[in-house]
Amino acid sequence: MSVFHRRTARTAILLTTKALAVSSAVLSSSTAHASRSDRDDDGMPNRWEVTHGLNPDRANARGDKDDDGLSNLGEYRHTGLPGDEDSDNDGHDDGDEVHDGARGTQISDRDSDDDGTRDGDEDSDDDDIDNEDEDDADESCSDDDDDRDEDNISDEDENDYGFRAGDDDDDDDGTPDGEEDSDEDGQSNEDDDDSDDDSCSDDSEDTDDLLGPIVSFDAKTGDLVIKSLRSGLLTFVVTDDTEIEFDSSGHGSGEEGSTEDLVPDAVVIEVDLEDDGTLEEVELERP
């Protein structure tokens, strides 16, 4: 090999060595910077974790601080709030909004299609059930919906009655919103959307509910008149299929009664209606 070629080869080697050293330094600097901004390397920046009450020194990407079905990392990626199960207050929990296949909704926009209807009140799959109510029947107790004003109407349902989440007595009449009977169907607002197999402790709200005393019962026509403590006189029709029970708890099955127990001044705890308005059950306070 000539002197010229030897010098050229040595120069190439030196240049390659310097290039590798520079690349290594850049990579080391980049890694150090990434480490400083995300010390636990869980995909969420330290500053964001601290702002939202998470520990920046503990890898908790898979955690779910607000039990809404969306991981902490998912909240970060979708610009949600890891401590709020419904970041945009549209009635549709963050986890449901991301995973229900309705790509037209976003957890940071309460009206994603700008049609004037909140995402939770939309019916994305056209099954006559609002998005916010799709999983009510099988939602676990830990995932149960927020009720910030503790009026026993979940935040997502407040707007269904024209109420404001955060005000437990919208009309200032001294009766909590959950104990009102806005549609005069004989059931408190708080009980209108209860699932039959709902057993969460927070759904024991109707323990102290009293619909009111019986005014009269006509065995021939089946007309049952009750003096509601909230809505005045209410009339229902008792049929052969109507169940009559004594149940002081307001939940579950109690001692069976009969039409002979539908006497004036007997106190009705609540009535249950079928979807068509048929009187399904009358629950009486134990004498």
User: pLDDT value at position 27?
Assistant: 47
Higher model confidence: residue 255 or residue 207? 255
With 50 as the cut, is the pLDDT of residue 163 above it? yes
Query: What is the reported pLDDT for 250?
Result: 42
Residue 89 is predicted with a pLDDT of 83
pLDDT in tens, 33-57: 555 799 999 999 999 999 999 999 9
Per-residue model confidence (pLDDT) at position 26 = 47
The predicted structure's pLDDT at residue 85: 85
Q: Report whether pLDDT(215) > 90.
A: yes
Residue 25, pLDDT > 80, answer no
Question: So what's the architecture of 207-284 in CATH?
Answer: Beta Barrel (2.40)
- Range with the largest mean pLDDT of 16-30, 92-106, 111-125, 250-264: 111-125
Mean pLDDT of 103-130: 82
**Which residues make beta-bridge pairs with 227?**
233
Most confident of 134-138, 156-160, 251-255: 156-160
Higher-confidence position of 90 and 194: 90
Average pLDDT for 223-232 = 83
